[in-house]
Amino acid sequence: MEFYPEGLLFSDELQYEIKSRFMHMDTDPGYGRRIFFENAGGSLRLKQSVQTFSEIGAYPDCASRRHNRATDLKRIEKKGLNNARIIFNAKSGQLHTTISATRGMFNMVGTIAENVPGKNIVTTVLEHPSVFDAAKYYCKKMDIELRVASANLQTGGIDPEAICNLIDKDTVLLVFMAASNITGSIFDVDTIIKGARSVNPELYIIVDFVQHAPHDVFDVEELKIDGANIAPYKYFGQRGYSFSYVSDRVALLPHQRVLRPGNESNWILGSIAQAQYADVSSIVEYVSWIGDHFTKDKNPRCLFETGMKHIHLHERGLLHRILFGGNGVSGLKDISNAEPLFYNGDITCKDLIVPLRFKNISCPKAVDEYAKRGIIVFERMADSYYSMRPMETFSLPGVIRVSPLHCHSIEDIDTFLEATQEIAAI
Ligand SMILES: Cc1ncc(COP(=O)(O)O)c(C=O)c1O
């Protein structure tokens, strides 16, 4: 695919169709028109996801029976598992279902830490507590060292060397996020993995894709990693479940499972709701529908991959507009008193998550001012357990996190920028 440093927007026609597939896109039914730019905290939901979730959830039937409805539900389950594999491009390994991405991460980190000999675990200072606390908890439990890579204060990401310099022959596990949920910086996952394995070829590696997955494609086979996870509620789907991937070698490590013979590599503990399997299919079918506009190849992974790549390019176009404006509307870079953080000119290593602050008004007050103008954003503050470590690292009291989604249009961005002009002039 061609390189588009400033992104590539969907056609107006496709943009319109995309918008029409989301629930409560422009309006909250109780509170009126609003623009939802808080998708990093939980994304706008697909209508298809909402509809099938309640439709399939209504059936009482157990999928392992023989009657018609039960066999239908079994088909939905199989299809959901296949579709989840498409998201990860998992041709090998096992899927692991849990109630949250954090639960899945603790299970993967714990299984490796408890079973693989070694003396340290490496992670980064920017991690969400789901990774950081899992690593810390199991380091304490196994009496091994926790090594934490520092951030690059200019890019808001982590340089590969900062991680690789901490790896040695005794590293049990490297666990890190693919992109920061606060700065939007995409980590150079490929270079990190190659660098780390050049020091320790047998190293176990888990990547947290919760924040990055809804913005771009990834491939566990190509990366040759041992674990990865996603959270469907940040991925246009429902809250309350999560899928993780574990490699064949992790799948076979002793882990909590039903002890049925022949079940040694299985990581699905108990029965998750059929509605959740239907939900993951809604996500994959939607992304593949976008992909179908851009490729003639009907291979399921190719359709999905093409869809995600175009989502990424459209979002890059929106990011460019937010920062640099256009058509007579000033971008954040040109609004005095507004300060978008961690931009050094190159937006190709950013997801559509913009950390912002104002010189004239505090972050929580600015969030309230946006809300008065019908725009929902959120502040990530140093006094919140969930953003404390990154904020301390960057010596910031907090930032406003602006997180639109690919279903937004240039007009939505311009409305946000006009509100920003007003707030900057308060
Ligand atoms: C990067 C990252 N990883 C993991 C999680 C945890 O997801 P969950 O709340 O589903 O456990 C989040 C949630 O915000 C996140 O942003």
Ligand 1 binding pocket includes 215 (Cβ within 6 Å): no
Tokens of 235: 């991925």
Ligand 1 binding pocket includes 100 (Cβ within 6 Å): yes
Task: Give the distance from CA 340 to its chain's centroid.
Answer: 21
**Bridge partner residues of 28 (DSSP):** 32
Q: How far away, in angstroms, is 424 Cα from ligand 1 center? A: 31
Query: Quick one: 72 and 145 in the same domain?
Result: yes
Residue 1 confidence (pLDDT)? 75
As for how many domains the chain has, the answer is 2
Query: Quick one: 41 and 133 in the same domain?
Result: no
Q: Is residue 298 part of a domain?
A: no
With the most atoms of ligand 1 within 8 angstroms of its CB, the residue from 211, 235, 378 to mutate is 211
Q: Is residue 110 part of a domain?
A: yes
Q: Is residue 297 part of a domain?
A: no
Q: Is residue 310 part of a domain?
A: yes
Closest CA to 210 of 181, 186, 237: 181
Beta-strand pair 375-376/329-330 = unpaired
Q: How far away, in angstroms, is 96 Cα from ligand 1 center? A: 16
Beta-strand pair 94-98/242-246 = antiparallel
Q: What gap in Å lies between CA 409 and CA 405, rounded to an integer? A: 9
Q: Are 34 and 374 in contact (CB under 8 A)?
A: yes
Ligand 1 binding pocket includes 208 (Cβ within 6 Å): yes
Q: Is residue 6 part of a domain?
A: no
The domain of 248 spans: 52-284
Ligand 1 binding pocket includes 102 (Cβ within 6 Å): yes
Closest CA to 143 of 164, 117, 169: 117
| Side-chain-side CA neighbours of residue 371 (13 Å) | 12
With the most atoms of ligand 1 within 8 angstroms of its CB, the residue from 99, 103, 128, 182 to mutate is 128
Point out the ligand 1 atom lying closest to the alpha carbon of residue 127: 1
Q: Are 229 and 244 in contact (CB under 8 A)?
A: yes
CA angle 372, 360, 345 (to 5 degrees): 95
Query: Quick one: 73 and 156 in the same domain?
Result: yes
Domain boundary (257, 284, 311) is at 284
Assign residue 349 the CATH number of its domain: 3.90.1150.10
11 Cβ contact list (under 8 Å, min separation 6): none
Assign residue 265 the CATH number of its domain: 3.40.640.10
Q: Is residue 209 part of a domain?
A: yes
Ligand 1 binding pocket includes 101 (Cβ within 6 Å): yes
Q: Is residue 292 part of a domain?
A: no
Q: How far away, in angstroms, is 210 Cα from ligand 1 center? A: 6
Query: Quick one: 60 and 187 in the same domain?
Result: yes
Ligand 1 binding pocket includes 15 (Cβ within 6 Å): no
Predicted TM-score of the model (pTM): 0.98
Query: Quick one: 16 and 112 in the same domain?
Result: no
Residue nearest to atom 7 of ligand 1 (CA): 101
Q: Are 364 and 379 in contact (CB under 8 A)?
A: yes
| Side-chain-side CA neighbours of residue 223 (13 Å) | 28
CA angle 394, 151, 87 (to 5 degrees): 115
Query: Quick one: 322 and 413 in the same domain?
Result: yes
Ligand 1 binding pocket includes 120 (Cβ within 6 Å): no
Query: Quick one: 321 and 243 in the same domain?
Result: no
Query: Quick one: 90 and 226 in the same domain?
Result: yes
With the most atoms of ligand 1 within 8 angstroms of its CB, the residue from 98, 181, 212, 380 to mutate is 181
Q: How far away, in angstroms, is 59 Cα from ligand 1 center? A: 30
Query: Quick one: 196 and 335 in the same domain?
Result: no
Query: Quick one: 199 and 312 in the same domain?
Result: no
Domain boundary (251, 284, 317) is at 284
CA distances from 136 to 64, 113, 120, 152, 157 (A): 39, 11, 10, 22, 21
Domain boundary (233, 257, 284) is at 284
Query: Quick one: 404 and 312 in the same domain?
Result: yes
Neighbours of 361 (CB within 10 A): 18
Per-residue pLDDT of the chain (426 residues), as tens digits, is 788 999 999 999 999 999 999 999 999 999 999 999 999 999 999 999 999 999 999 999 999 999 999 999 999 999 999 999 999 999 999 999 999 999 999 999 999 999 999 999 999 999 999 999 999 999 999 999 999 999 999 999 999 999 999 999 999 999 999 999 999 999 999 999 999 999 999 999 999 999 999 999 999 999 999 999 999 999 999 999 999 999 999 999 999 999 999 999 999 999 889 999 999 999 999 999 999 999 999 999 999 999 999 999 999 999 999 999 999 999 999 999 999 999 988 999 999 999 999 999 999 999 999 999 999 999 999 999 999 999 999 999 999 999 999 999 999 999 999 999 999 999
Q: Is residue 2 part of a domain?
A: no
Query: Quick one: 60 and 126 in the same domain?
Result: yes
Neighbours of 195 (CB within 10 A): 16
